[in-house]
Amino acid sequence: MGLNLHTHLEGWVRPDTAADLARSMDVPEPDLGWDAALRMREPADLTVFLAHVAAAYPVLGSADAMRRVAREAVEDAAADGCDFLEIRFGPSTHARPGFDIPAVIAAACEGLDEGRRSTGLAVGLVVCLLRHLDDETNLAVAKAAAEAAGRGVVGLDVAGDELVYPALARYREPYEIAAAAGLGLTAHAAEAGPAEAAREAVSLLGVTRIGHGSHIVDNPSVLAWAADEGIAIEVCPTSNVLTGAAPSIREHPLRRFIEAGCRVVVGDDNPINIGSRLSDEERLLVTEAGLTDVQIRAIHLTACEVAFTDDATRAELRRRYAS
Ligand SMILES: [Zn+2]
C-alpha cells in the first residue's frame, strides 16, 4: 500500500551496490565501510544528513551505475509494497565529461523503466534544480527535463539549502519551460525557510505541491492559505526527525496540517540513509502520530489526485484506493 511522492533517487543506493560500483569505478571505500557511510543512525542536523546522502554521489557518475541504482530502487519499492513511486534527483550532480545532463536523465529513466517492466510498479522521475547551482546550469537541467517529458520524466522540483539560497524568482524561467512541456511542478520550500517561502513558490513558480513545508505551521495565515488553495504538502516524517526539523514523529507538523484542512501526501525522502521505507513511514503515522485509518485513506486518495502521472495510471490508482 501507499504512494511515495517524495523520495530522492540518491537515497536508494543499497550499501552492497555502492561497494560493488565503487570497485568497478575506482572509488575508494569509506573508512568505516559503505553501510556506515550511507546510513544515519541517530538524529543530527541537515548537514550531517546531507553528508550521508552525498556519500553515494561518487558511485552514480556513469550510465551503467545510474541505470542499476534506478532499477534497484523500483525493485526495492515494489518489494516494500508501494503502489506508485515518484522518484526525484538532481542530474547535474552526477554529470561528468562524457556523461552530460541529458545522458544522466536518460540513464535514470532507462533504469526506472527496467524496474517498472520487471515489477509492474508505476514510476515517474522528477528532475531537481539545485539551489547552489548557477542559473545557466539550472536552465540546462530544466530544458533536459522538458525534452524527456513523456519518456520517463514527469515533474520539476528545486532542492538544496534554502537558508543559504532563499531566492525563488531566479527559477521562474526553468519552471516555465517545465510547465510548457506539461511537467508537474513541486518545490522544496518552507523546509528550513519561513512559511512565506511556500506561498512564494506557488505564486512565482506555479507549483501545486510543496516538499516538506514544515514551517508552514509557524504562520496561521499561510497555513489557512495552503488549505484554501489545496496545496499538497509532501511530508517525510522520519527524515524530518533525523535532520532536526521535527522533534519527533508524534510532534511532527503533519497533524496540524491535517487539522487545518491541508492536503497531505507522504514520502520517505531517502530510505537507505534514514533506514525507513514508505511502509515504515505509514506505520509510524498510525503508531506514533496517531492518525486514524480514515486519515491514512485521505492521504492515499490525495496522492492519487496530485501524483504527477498520466490519466490511465491515475484512474487505475483511484480504482485501487476507492475500495
Ligand atoms: Zn526532499
Read off the pLDDT of residues 59-93 as tens digits, 9 standing for 90 and up.
999 999 999 999 999 999 999 999 999 999 999 99
Question: Do residues 130 and 94 lie in contact, with contact meaning Cβ atoms separated by under 8 Å?
Answer: no
Q: Is the pLDDT of residue 153 over 90?
A: yes
What φ, ψ does residue 231 adopt, rounded to 5°? -70, 130
Report the separation in Å between the CA atom of 269 and the middle of ligand 1, taken as the mean of its atom positions: 5
Question: Do residues 234 and 210 lie in contact, with contact meaning Cβ atoms separated by under 8 Å?
Answer: yes
- What local confidence, expressed as pLDDT, does residue 319 receive? 96
Report the separation in Å between the CA atom of 150 and the middle of ligand 1, taken as the mean of its atom positions: 23
Residue of 10, 86, 162, 191 marked catalytic: 191
As a whole number of angstroms, the distance between CA 304 and CA 296 comes to 13
Where b means 16+ CB within 10 Å and e means fewer, 154-177 reads bbbbbbebbeeeeebebbeebbeb
- What local confidence, expressed as pLDDT, does residue 244 receive? 87
As a whole number of angstroms, the distance between CA 5 and CA 304 comes to 10
For 67-134, the DSSP string reads: HHHHHHHHHHHHHTT-SEEEEEE-GGGG-BTTB-HHHHHHHHHHHHHHHHHHH--EEEEEEEEETTS-
As a whole number of angstroms, the distance between CA 92 and CA 57 comes to 11
- Name the residue among 299, 249, 323, 319 with its Cα closest to residue 5: 299
Q: Is 151 helix (H, G, I), strand (E, B) or coil?
A: coil
Report the separation in Å between the CA atom of 50 and the middle of ligand 1, taken as the mean of its atom positions: 11
Prediction pTM value: 0.97
- Name the residue among 32, 49, 111, 79 with its Cα closest to residue 275: 49
Instruction: From residue 191, give the alpha-carbon distance in Å to each of 18, 46, 75, 210.
Output: 29, 11, 29, 9
Read off the pLDDT of residues 173-190 as tens digits, 9 standing for 90 and up.
999 999 999 999 999 999
Report the separation in Å between the CA atom of 212 and the middle of ligand 1, taken as the mean of its atom positions: 7
What φ, ψ does residue 309 adopt, rounded to 5°? -150, 175
As a whole number of angstroms, the distance between CA 80 and CA 280 comes to 9
Q: Is the pLDDT of residue 14 over 90?
A: yes
Report the separation in Å between the CA atom of 323 and the middle of ligand 1, taken as the mean of its atom positions: 30
Q: Domains in the chain, please, with CATH?
A: 3-322 (3.20.20.140)
Average pLDDT over residues 32-47: 92
Banded pLDDT at 46 (limits 50, 70, 90): confident
As a whole number of angstroms, the distance between CA 299 and CA 280 comes to 15
Q: Is the pLDDT of residue 323 over 80?
A: no
What φ, ψ does residue 33 adopt, rounded to 5°? 90, 170
Report the separation in Å between the CA atom of 194 and the middle of ligand 1, taken as the mean of its atom positions: 16
Question: Do residues 240 and 209 lie in contact, with contact meaning Cβ atoms separated by under 8 Å?
Answer: no
Report the separation in Å between the CA atom of 87 and the middle of ligand 1, taken as the mean of its atom positions: 10
Q: Is the pLDDT of residue 224 over 90?
A: yes
Catalytic annotation present for 191: yes
- What local confidence, expressed as pLDDT, does residue 281 receive? 97
Report the separation in Å between the CA atom of 236 and the middle of ligand 1, taken as the mean of its atom positions: 8
Report the separation in Å between the CA atom of 49 and the middle of ligand 1, taken as the mean of its atom positions: 11
Lowest-pLDDT choice from 122-126, 192-196, 205-209? 192-196
Report the separation in Å between the CA atom of 6 and the middle of ligand 1, taken as the mean of its atom positions: 6
Query: How many Cβ atoms from other residues are within 10 Å of residue 48's Cβ?
Result: 14
Q: Is the pLDDT of residue 45 over 90?
A: no
